[in-house]
Amino acid sequence: MLLAIDAGNTNVVFAVFDGDEKRGQWRISTDSRRTADEYAVWLFSLMALKGLKPADVDAAILSSVVPAATFDLTNLCTRHFGCQPMRIGDPAVDLGIKVLIDNPREAGADRIVNSIAAAQTYPPPLIIVDIGTGTTFDVVDADGNFVGGAIAPGPNLALDALHRVAAQLPKVDIVRPASVIGKGTVGAMQSGMYWGYTSMIEGLLGRLSAELSPSGTPPVTVIATGGLGRTFAEAIPMIHHVDNELTMRGLLSVYKRNTRT
């Protein structure tokens, strides 16, 4: 079985695949101080609830945008599962997608993996909007190549910053408010965060789409993903699909591509 690991800025997600079947998926908050042994104790317990044992895993693949966590996640695989993980970003790993940006090594592993899965699922050209710690826009051209995109702070990150620097502003949840005009501080903050980010996402999607397909033919398909993808997709007609399985499907695809015999 394959252990797939996606280490993001907010969470580390683990999944176990038996062929194409996902047998289980779990997430834990990202903490660069967490050791391989701590990951193992936590993960083994959850795997057992699904009837899985560490010995069932004989391969691993790792995507990480948190260098400080990569070492211990690699040790988790080698020490507790007995396998060296395949790494997204390793030049020896065939991604099956061309990364056509100025410095391909700068592209985040999660952005590339999402683009791979999206290009295999939806007709390009594509824009993948990942709304999490950051809000990233990943662009795949009509030939299926990753050609860049845009990066902005995520809604929760912006909200935390606002709460920290403004003493009178409370911490609020990001939800779709009943009206754009807030009738109090909480309502005003929720409106600013929700509708402000909605407008930003709509604006960037429009500009990116115009550059990607100036004539509108072929049409651009937009996919939302990430922890807040569905929340914002409800208000943005330009988003055609919500797909929170992109990263794991992309990791599985890369692993299979590099282990064909």
Instruction: Decide if 247 contacts 11 (C-beta within 8 A).
Output: no
Tens of pLDDT, residue by residue over 36-74, are 999 999 999 999 999 999 999 999 999 999 999 999 999
Instruction: Decide if 114 contacts 250 (C-beta within 8 A).
Output: yes
Across the range 223-237, mean pLDDT stands at 95
**Residue 116: pLDDT above 90?**
yes
18, 56, 94, 110: which one is catalytic? 110
Which of 157-194 are b and which e, b meaning 16 or more Cβ less than 10 Å from the residue's Cβ?
bbbeeeeeeeeeeeebebeebeeeebeeeebbbbbbbb
**Residue 141: pLDDT above 70?**
yes
To the nearest 10 degrees (0 to 180), the angle between helices 36-49 and 67-75 is: 60
Across the range 92-100, mean pLDDT stands at 94
Compute φ and ψ for 235, nearest 5 degrees: -110, 5
Which domains does the chain show, CATH number per domain? 2-87 (3.30.420.40), 104-249 (3.30.420.40)
- Structure confidence at residue 167 (pLDDT): 67
Confidence of residue 171 (pLDDT cuts 50, 70, 90): confident
**Residue 88: pLDDT above 70?**
yes
The reported pTM is 0.91
Binding site listing for K(+): 130
Q: Which of 110, 68, 86, 74 is nearest to 227 (CA)?
A: 110
- Structure confidence at residue 105 (pLDDT): 87
Exposure of 138 in the CB half-sphere (CA atoms within 13 A): 28
Cα 126 to Cα 223: distance, rounded to the nearest angstrom? 8
- Structure confidence at residue 261 (pLDDT): 58
Across the range 207-230, mean pLDDT stands at 96
* Residue 58 annotated among the catalytic residues of the structure: no
Please, where are the H alpha helices in the chain?
A: 36-49, 67-75, 109-121, 155-165, 185-212, 229-233, 246-258
- Structure confidence at residue 158 (pLDDT): 85
Across the range 153-180, mean pLDDT stands at 85
Binding site listing: 6-13, 108-111, 130, 133, 185
Exposure of 165 in the CB half-sphere (CA atoms within 13 A): 6
